[in-house]
Amino acid sequence: MVVLNFTLICMGTEYNEGVSFGADFAAIGLIVVHWASLKQHGFFISLLSSFSQISVMFTMPVAGELCESSLGWPSVYYVHAALSGALFTAWLYYYRNHPANHPSMTEIELEKIQRGKKDVDEKQPTPVKEILKNHIMWSVWLSAFGELMMSQFIVMYGPTYLNEVMGFGVAHTGYFVAVPRAMHLAFKIISGIASDRIQFLSEKTKMRIFNTIALMVSGSFFCILGFLPRELSSYALLSLLIIECSTGFICGGFYKCATLVARWVSDLYYMDGHATFSLRTVTNPVHQVPVAVYRTTARVPHLHA
């Protein structure tokens, strides 16, 4: 009965998390379309999509310290619940769907935001069939699946990998996962600004270059990571750092491509990106179990009796 109740609680928590993440990804598309000028798409995307990195940078070290403190592991949930409530209240107070409705918006700022944009009737039916037939958006979704699969794998199993495989302590593990995520955030912002500022290349060429760096470089070092022994733990940290830095270029790649191609329905594309996020969350354990069963069999032998 205890196991059943705990399972139901976990399912309810995951459902609520899915709802919140769905809103996050849709909000990125809406805010970029309505609030960003055409010259600042990359910068806005880099900032708005940084929530996943900031959360890891905060959660990993703080959770590690709280777990080893006198407050114990329950304090991790209470601290995060309080912060989530405070941040949601701030969002509810300050946010407006359209810049013209914000009390702090000036006419000069509004003109810069709307410069070059066409008026679109947002109440018209969503062109679902055209979206599904668009090969560019399929490439965006496939790129998102690859990048999100890799990044989520590191977030979910990075601490376990560093602790169980590479032999780092629990307290250090949180920091060693948080630091690469911080570098990822820095490169994400840099790539977003660079994508907006570079003028001697076409948008298509820039997006191809940034996407190649984000996926090919990180994928190569992800493969290397799997063959490093414990004696080369410092190289494993270096590989994690390179993976996180290179994936920061996604803001100038498929993230920017989605907003430029989709425009007023970009929120739909980002919600599909959330579906990709959910899919990788489900499939990552399926990939992990067949190759990492030693940890379970060693610690919980009665399950395999």
Residue 23 included in any domain: yes
Q: How far apart are CA 91 and CA 175, in angstroms?
A: 28
Residue 121 included in any domain: no
Residue 71 included in any domain: yes
- Would you call 173 exposed, middle or buried from its count of C-beta atoms within 10 A (0-12, 13-18, 19+)? buried
Residue 18 included in any domain: yes
Residue 122 included in any domain: no
Q: What is the DSSP letter of 286?
A: H
Q: How far apart are CA 99 and CA 34, in angstroms?
A: 7
**Tally of CB atoms within 10 A around 305:** 4
Over the stretch 56-75, which tens digit does the pLDDT of each residue have?
778 877 887 788 777 877 88
The secondary structure of 44-56, three-state, reads HHHHHCCHHHHHH
Over the stretch 190-232, which tens digit does the pLDDT of each residue have?
887 888 788 888 878 888 888 888 888 888 888 888 788 878 8
Domain count, the chain: 1
Q: How far apart are CA 146 and CA 159, in angstroms?
A: 21
Residue 120 included in any domain: no
Q: What average pLDDT does range 24-46 have in this prediction? A: 75
Q: What is the DSSP letter of 168?
A: -
Phi-psi sector, 118: left (phi>0), alpha (psi -120 to 50), beta: beta
Which domain, by its residues, includes 21? 2-114+127-304
Q: How far apart are CA 288 and CA 61, in angstroms?
A: 24
Taking the whole predicted model, whether its pTM rises above 0.75 is answered as: no
- Helical spans, DSSP H, in 133-247: 135-160, 170-197, 203-212, 218-225, 233-247
